[in-house]
Amino acid sequence: MAVGGGIGGGTILLILAIAFLTGENPLRLLDAVGGGPSVSVDDRVDPAGGQPGPAGAPSDQLGQFASSVLGSTEDIWEQQFARARANYQPPVMVLFSGAVESACGYNSAAVGPFYCPLDNKLYLDLSFFDELERRFGAPGDFAQAYVIAHEVGHHVQNQLGIAGKVQEARRGAGSEEEANALSVRMELQADCLAGVWAHHSKLLESGDVEEGLRAASAIGDDRIQRRSQGYTVPESWTHGSSEQRVRWLRQGLESGDINSCDVFAARDL
Could you report the per-residue pLDDT of 145-165, keeping only the tens digit for each?
Answer: 889 999 999 999 999 999 999
The answer to whether 269 and 263 have CB atoms below 8 angstroms apart is: yes
- The answer to the question of residue 184 being in a domain is yes
Number of alpha carbons in the 13 Å side-chain half-sphere of residue 129: 21
Q: How far apart are CA 115 and CA 108, in angstroms?
A: 14
Q: CB-based contacts of 64: which residues, under 8 Å, 6+ apart?
A: 26, 27, 58
Within-domain flag for 91: yes
Number of domains making up the chain: 1
Q: Give the DSSP H or E segment for 43.
A: strand 39-44
Q: Is 83 contained in some domain?
A: yes
Domain membership flag for residue 183: yes
Q: What is the pLDDT along the chain (269 residues), one digit of tens a residue?
A: 654 443 343 433 444 344 444 344 444 444 444 445 666 655 443 333 333 333 345 557 888 888 999 999 999 999 999 998 999 999 999 998 888 999 999 988 888 899 999 999 999 988 887 877 777 776 678 888 889 999 999 999 999 999 999 999 999 999 999 999 999 999 999 999 999 999 998 767 767 778 778 888 887 888 888 888 898 888 888 899 999 999 999 999 999 999 999 999 998 88
Short-list 209, 208, 203, 207, CA closest to 12: 203
| CA distances for 25 relative to 4, 31, 41, 42, angstroms | 15, 10, 16, 19
Q: How many CB atoms lie within 10 A of CB 148?
A: 24
Across 56-212, where does the E strand assignment appear? 92-102, 105-108, 114-116, 121-125
Please indicate, yes or no, if residue 103 is contained in any of the structural domains. yes
Torsion angle in degrees (nearest 10) through CA of 24, 13, 63, 188:
170
> Is 4 domain-assigned?
no
Domain span at residue 161?
9-265
Q: Is residue 1 part of a domain?
A: no
